[in-house]
Amino acid sequence: MPHYYKLGQIPHKRHTQFRNADGRLYSEQLFSTEGFSSNSSLLYHCHPPTEIVKVDEPYSVAPKVAEEKMLKHRSFQGFKVQPEDDFMKSRKAVLVNNDLHIVLAAPRKSMEDYFYKNADADEMIFVHEGSGVLKTQYGQLKFGYGDYLVVPRGTIYQITFDTEDNRLFIVESFSPIRYPKRYLSKYGQLLEHAPFCERDIRQPEQLETIDQEGDFLIRIKKKGVVYPIHYKHHPFDVIGWDGCEYPFAFSIHDFEPITGRVHQPPPVHQTFEGSNFVVCSFCPRLFDYHPEAIPAPYNHSNIDSDEVLYYVDGDFMSRKHVVRGMITLHPAGIPHGPHPGAVEKSIGAKETKELAVMVDTFHPLQITEAALGIEDDSYVMSWAE
């Protein structure tokens, strides 16, 4: 993200000598997700971040695709994903393509005996249930219900949960996750028409330099395979850092909805974007105020995108039988719209209390075996009276 930030101790000039009290050089590391041609940060370690002591056997965690091609509306009950103690084992990819993976997770335990690094994808972790702390080399981010945690690829992290009841909706993006371009000035500042601003973005705090020697396991995911690599020094041995590439948090409750006299199209809800997909936040808001407005969304054809809606909380006047954690998939190629009776019912309504996360992909999604295990087969016929 294009906002400069720094924590801890750093030298006056980059790429110059920076020594500790004993005269030993700190080890400088450039962190970037697009080589040397985009945003980056410089981290200063007590020890080189390259000292490997042991490598374990890799193992596959690649999602198993059950349906590569399909053309019907689908629905999945996300809260039917069974909780598991381990964070990584709890992650279940349900909808995937070459641009992103949509993952559900219900971890019960904190990450205590290992660290995790996704070497392929930026991660957007939406916290539906639970709270805790995301710990990284950049410092700590406290999180709770409704938070988006955006973690650049290659970031080493641990998550500490406060309770065992945790539900996460995760997007793994194989391109950088960014603010929508139309929200930004040519210099990178969020503009006045954007539905959030820099004040809403929470940056890492409480940088803790852990200078420890031992055996520190980092599970690194690359191309669907996890490589367990043990390092000699604690990965959070950073004395200071600065730059524009780092994890951050943004609460869906800080998103300011854009409304109008008549029904507004989905792009007004956009929050983030990646290559060939967008993420939108549907939040409590006043309905349209034209005297003859129809608040319910109009029928629309998905010609260019698959639409995924993850229902978080509240009442959804356009859908029947919505429950928390439900996912709907409306694929490109066939229209969809309000369920029968929803249009008339919406007329005269003043506001909605709905809360949902939408992901629109511009390449078709594939359905995994994990998704079939939580599918509601009756959804495709739910428009029939």
Give mean pLDDT in consecutive 10-residue pieces for the chain, a chain of 385 residues: 88 96 96 88 97 97 96 95 96 98 98 96 98 98 98 97 97 96 93 95 96 98 98 98 96 94 90 97 91 87 90 80 92 90 86 93 97 94 81
β-pair type (306-313, 326-330): antiparallel
pLDDT of residue 299: 87
Using an 8 Å Cβ cutoff, are 247 and 151 in contact?
Answer: yes
Residues 5 and 2: their CA atoms lie apart, in Å, by 10
pLDDT of residue 346: 87
Report the predicted TM-score, pTM, of the whole model to 2 decimal places: 0.95
62 and 193 housed in the same domain: yes
212 and 271 housed in the same domain: no
Which of 19, 100, 37, 36 lies closest to 28 in space, CA to CA? 19
294 and 220 housed in the same domain: no
Element (H, E) at 132: strand 132-136
186 and 311 housed in the same domain: no
Using an 8 Å Cβ cutoff, are 237 and 209 in contact?
Answer: yes
165 and 200 housed in the same domain: yes
Q: Hey, what's the torsion of the CAs at 91, 271, 264, 340, to 10 degrees?
A: 0
288 and 160 housed in the same domain: no
β-pair type (285-286, 351-352): antiparallel
Using an 8 Å Cβ cutoff, are 330 and 383 in contact?
Answer: no
What is the number of other CB atoms lying within 10 angstroms of the CB of residue 328? 22
137 and 89 housed in the same domain: yes
pLDDT of residue 349: 85
Is residue 102, in this structure, part of any structural domain at all? yes
Q: How far is CA 13 from CA 10, 40, 246, in A?
A: 8, 15, 20
pLDDT of residue 1: 57
61 and 202 housed in the same domain: yes
Is residue 293, in this structure, part of any structural domain at all? yes
Is residue 12, in this structure, part of any structural domain at all? no
Kindly report the CATH number assigned to the domain that includes residue 95.
2.60.120.10
User: How does DSSP classify residue 230?
Assistant: E
pLDDT of residue 321: 78
pLDDT of residue 317: 67
- Determine whether 193 is exposed, middle or buried from the number of CB atoms within 10 Å of its CB (0-12, 13-18, 19+): exposed
> What residue numbers bound the domain in which 102 lies?
51-66+81-236+246-252
Is residue 169, in this structure, part of any structural domain at all? yes
Domain boundary among 191, 225, 252: 252
Which of 336, 305, 335, 301 lies closest to 318 in space, CA to CA? 336
Element (H, E) at 175: none
301 and 369 housed in the same domain: yes
Is residue 160, in this structure, part of any structural domain at all? yes
Element (H, E) at 344: helix 342-346
Is residue 16, in this structure, part of any structural domain at all? no
- Determine whether 146 is exposed, middle or buried from the number of CB atoms within 10 Å of its CB (0-12, 13-18, 19+): buried
Domain boundary among 185, 218, 252: 252
63, two tokens:
């999602």
Using an 8 Å Cβ cutoff, are 232 and 283 in contact?
Answer: no
Is residue 1, in this structure, part of any structural domain at all? no
Using an 8 Å Cβ cutoff, are 158 and 235 in contact?
Answer: no
Three-state DSSP class for 252? Answer: helix
231 and 264 housed in the same domain: no
358 and 219 housed in the same domain: no
216 and 345 housed in the same domain: no
Which of 174, 151, 176, 274 lies closest to 222 in space, CA to CA? 174
80, two tokens:
């039917």
Using an 8 Å Cβ cutoff, are 240 and 7 in contact?
Answer: yes
Is residue 10, in this structure, part of any structural domain at all? no
Using an 8 Å Cβ cutoff, are 108 and 131 in contact?
Answer: no
As for how many domains the chain has, the answer is 2
Domain boundary among 198, 228, 252: 252
